[in-house]
Amino acid sequence: MHELSIAESILEAVRKEIADRPGTRPIRVGLRIGELTAVDVDSLTFCFEAVLKGTDWESLRLDARVCLLRRTCNDCSNEFAVVDYNVNCPTCGGGSTKLSSGDELDFDYLEVETDGTPAVKVEGAE
């Protein structure tokens, strides 16, 4: 259940991000989660809702996009989806490939609303 620790880290990062933007409310936080990270999206969503309980941000939503395993061939530069853990390049058959996607646990974006007046740019509100 490291999803609970990760949910707390997400909330902490959102707090930091909007700390210097008064009147701004976070609506949705986007994440990119690689297949290899052993993070379960359903469990993370459940934990995230749990850590938001009793805060002002109960309606804050997670948008977690799962990134599938992909590798890039060192010989022909082809990027391919890995099927059944086969790391060899399907185009040239080369065995020298490196991971290009699948181990990310990254923030993507944060959607915010400023003082209940949507479509107002944060820069304009300052």
Partner 1 sequence: MERLPLKSKVLNENQIVAESLRERFREHGVLCLNLISGPGSGKTALLERTLASLDRATRVCVLTGDIQTDNDARRLAQYGFPVQQITTGGTCHLDGRMIEKHLAAWDLDEIDLLFIENVGNLVCPSSYDLGEASKIVLLSVTEGEDKPLKYPSIFFKSDLFVLTKIDLLPYVPFNADVAEANARLVHPGIEIVRASSTAEGGLDAWLAWLKQRMAQARQDTLAPAGA
70 binds partner 1 (CB under 8 A): no
110 binds partner 1 (CB under 8 A): yes
- The 3-state DSSP class for residue 56 equals coil
Distance CA 105, CA 39 (A): 9
Which listed residue (23, 27, 52, 100) binds partner 1 by CB under 8 A? 27
49 binds partner 1 (CB under 8 A): no
- Do the beta carbons of residue 39 and residue 3 sit within 8 Å? yes
Note the residues at the interface with partner 1 (CB under 8 A).
1-2, 5-6, 9-10, 12-13, 17, 27, 29-31, 36-39, 85-87, 95, 103, 105-114, 118-119, 121-122
